[in-house]
Amino acid sequence: MIMDLKQFKENLLLYGADVHRWPEEIRNAGLEALKNSSEFRFLVDEEAKFERILKSRKYEEPDSYLERRIISVALQIKKNPPSSLGTFLLELLAEFRLPRPALIALSVLIIGFTIGFLDPIASAPTEQDPTTLQAFLYYEEEIP
């Protein structure tokens, strides 16, 4: 069995830089490919360097208060949904941190929509005259 570059890279990632530790069925093909190619030897050297770096890395143990801090923060989170639309909107605005001009514009927009929807009948015209397209396009009287 002859191992190509793609297979060699896959096996290198799966089994590590020590080709002698690869599974028996692919070990001989890997050793043969390694013996015949400088590119494969370079890949093995790079993988070996990477493995040494990973082995030398140490991680920090979390402090003994980490568990208590996580639990205390989790207990402080509100478990009840907002009780009103106003509370919901206030929490929503607090979450997004908008600049002052944007907050003013948003407030004016909300107030405008509220006023417009409070009494929609008052804003609709009460008397409608039928207007044809031709009369609209060829209006010749003076506009008051």
Output the pLDDT for position 16: 92
Residues in the chain: 144
Task: Give whole-number Cα distances, 44 to 16, 52, 72, 86, in Å.
Answer: 8, 12, 48, 64
pTM score: 0.41
Cβ atoms within 10 Å of 33's Cβ, excluding its own: 22
| Cβ-based neighbours of 20, under 8 Å, separated by 6 or more | 27, 31
How far apart (Å, rounded) are the C-alpha atoms in residues 34 and 29? 8
Output the pLDDT for position 143: 60
How far apart (Å, rounded) are the C-alpha atoms in residues 15 and 118? 71
Output the pLDDT for position 121: 64
Task: Give whole-number Cα distances, 113 to 87, 91, 100, 110, 135, in Å.
Answer: 19, 20, 20, 5, 34
Per-residue model confidence as pLDDT tens for the chain (144 residues)? 788 889 999 999 999 999 999 998 999 999 998 888 899 999 999 999 999 998 888 878 888 888 888 888 877 776 666 578 888 877 777 777 778 888 788 889 989 888 878 876 665 565 666 667 776 676 666 665
User: So where are the chain's domains?
Assistant: 5-56, 85-118
